[in-house]
Structure 1
């Protein structure tokens, strides 16, 4: 927990410093440059349904079962008025949640706290201003802890990267 707080604090300090300098025109504001990427993404030029089908197949082709599909775009559209916003963020957006018994077991045997990373998620979205361009990606897991934990989490990242790459036609 201390390490997470320190990391978040360091990122926040870097962001505040960059914002302050940007106010004087000294540096462009880009918080992502100061922090490791939280997500790995690819942009595919195709119909959303086709990319969704490819993501689903990439997961199933590895012998995995999709436990839940989160309809993020629909939720935001449905609740926008309730929270005082009429902005349409996505044309379509979903996240597919799943686990790998073998990889999850290895990660949690290495460190029970790795339960925080399960289930795994691959997301895809299309924005209203870029029809036909679908972003597909995953949240990169931090490879932390013991050597066994780092190795297990790296294997999960490799799985997620392979799924996204396959769905993107790589």
Structure 2
């Protein structure tokens, strides 16, 4: 059964478009807070608990002058961190060093430029034993984006 699930995951990942630079993103023409809510629900719908939310956009805005920043980067940007006990066990049984990838993250941001879309995505793992995690993250992003 496990091999069948892994095979299905691999097939779906190969068929899924990506930016090709190690990130899977979807641009969404929607309100930022709506997509944030969708991400939270998509994670919870997988039976997972959000461990942390990093408010990267607020931090960069708050510290802009302190570090010599001259422009706004985001209207808002957040990173949601969470873990899956079952999938983490699976990938770490395959390779103990996969611990470095946990917790897993989904990000949402909107660039400061007028009319910029909301972007939801994740960093793809190149490690073959992490395919099931890529698939999980892909499902979360797709649900959050309304795909």
Q: TM-score band (shorter)? A: 0.7 to 0.9
Matched, 1:156 2:140: no
Which protein shows a greater Rg?
1
Runs of 4+ in 1 over 4 A off after TM superposition: none
In 1, Cα distance between the equivalents of 2:31 and 2:74?
A: 14
Partner of 1:71: 55
CA contact (8 A) 1:47 1:132 kept: no
Q: Choose from 33, 36, 42 the match for 1:49.
A: 33
Q: How many residues align?
A: 129
Residues 108-123 of structure 1 aligned to structure 2 (within 5 Å): 108-123=92-107
In the superposition, the TM-score normalised over structure 2's length comes to 0.84
Q: Choose from 89, 92, 101 the match for 1:105.
A: 89
Partner of 1:167: 144
Once the two structures are superposed, what CA deviation does each residue of 1:67-113 show, in whole Å capped at 9, x if it has no partner? 00000000101111111112100000000000000000111111110
Partner SS for 2:21: coil
Stretches of structure 2 that go unaligned for 5 or more consecutive residues are: 1-18
Q: CA RMSD in A?
A: 1.4
